[in-house]
Amino acid sequence: KQEVTQIPAALSVPEGENLVLNCSFTDSAIYNLQWFRQDPGKGLTSLLLIQSSQREQTSGRLNASLDKSSGRSTLYIAASQPGDSATYLCAVYSGGGADGLTFGKGTHLIIQP
Amino acid sequence: GAVVSQHPSWVICKSGTSVKIECRSLDFQATTMFWYRQFPKQSLMLMATSNEGSKATYEQGVEKDKFLINHASLTLSTLTVTSAHPEDSSFYICSAMIHPFEQYFGPGTRLTVT
């Protein structure tokens, strides 16, 4: 059974810093990996999707990498801003069309003004 | 981009009543939709996979007679929580799949059972 772990569980940094969020998964046989953002009491916002054949994806100040063989992904946030404060979730898709995503427990990020 | 809606966004019901939550893909067709549940300060847990025209597939530990799922069309899946109890209070989120295996999520439904 696939398991996803995110480290750290919580992180608080001053505005402007670059930071890295980590995600690891136990079964490397995945189709893709997604990073989401969730604001308190809200739904999910998809940030980046990396297919299993890809090594990284970039969107603005966000860069996600994937090392499928080692079961790891990182989300790099450059020049952090208070508006980046949220919970960041990593999820992997392992199924062949009939399975949902397996989520990590998330990293709760606070960017101090 | 692909948009998924949910209705209602929040609902309060009395213990013992049933509640229906709708999940719609607004600008695309989805043969497969998923229902997740999120308890406070926890991550999302898959409840069931909803397939258009066939029975839903439930995850271990999820009661299929309590959480009724109907995927009536390629744009609509419904989750009915039957005989709701306070422990069913949670945040329910649906997603719809577009190939190749990318999921788009609805905004979620906050259910409170009193």
Query: Which residue type sits at B83?
Result: S
> In this complex, do B103 and A103 lie within 8 Å of one another by their Cβ atoms?
no
pLDDT of B10 higher than 80: yes
Cβ contact A93–B110 (<8 Å):
no
Q: B49 and A105: CB-CB below 8 Å?
A: no
Q: How many CB atoms lie within 10 A of CB B111?
A: 21
Interface contact flag, B103 A34, Cβ < 8 Å? yes
| CA neighbor of A74 nearest in space, from A17, A16, A22 | A22
Mean pLDDT of B34-46: 90
Say whether pLDDT at A96 is over 70. no
If one counts every other C-beta atom within 10 angstroms of the C-beta of residue A15, the result is 14
Which tokens belong to A100? 């949902």
Nearest chain B Cα distance for residue A42, angstroms: 7
Look at residue B54 in the predicted model and tell me its pLDDT.
Answer: 83
CA dist., res. A50 & res. A54, Å (int): 6
Give the model's confidence band at B41: pLDDT under 50 very low, under 70 low, under 90 confident, else very high. confident
Q: How far away is chain A from the Cα of B42, in angstroms, using its nearest Cα?
A: 6
Q: Is the pLDDT of residue B28 over 60?
A: yes
More confident of the two residues B2 and A80:
A80
Per CB-CB distance under 8 Å, the chain B contacts of A9 are none
- For A6-26, how does the pLDDT look when each residue is reduced to its tens digit (9 = 90+)? 999 999 999 999 999 999 999
The pLDDT tens digits for B50-100 are 888 888 999 989 999 999 999 888 899 999 999 999 999 999 999 998 876
Tell me what pLDDT residue A41 has: 84
Phi-psi region of B97 (alpha: psi -120 to 50; beta: other; left: phi over 0): beta
Q: For residue A42, which residues of chain B lie inside 8 Å, CB to CB? A: 107-108
**Shortest alpha-carbon distance between residue B79 and chain A (Å):** 16
Low-confidence winner among A76-85, A91-100, B33-42 (lowest mean pLDDT): A91-100
CB contacts of B104 in chain A (<8 Å) are 46
Which tens digit of pLDDT belongs to each residue from A29-88?
999 999 999 998 888 999 999 999 999 999 999 999 999 999 999 999 999 999 999 999
Q: Evaluate the CA torsion angle A38, A42, A43, A45 in order and state its sign.
A: negative
> Does residue A99 carry a pLDDT above 90?
no
Question: Phi then psi for A30, rounded to 5 degrees?
Answer: -115, 155
The answer to whether the CB atoms of B103 and A101 lie below 8 A apart is: yes
Are A49 and B102 inside 8 Å of each other by CB?
yes
Confidence band, pLDDT 50/70/90 cuts, at residue A91: very high
The pLDDT value recorded for residue A98 is 53
Nearest Cα of chain A lies from the Cα of B2 at a distance, in angstroms, of 11
Q: What is the pLDDT of residue A100?
A: 84
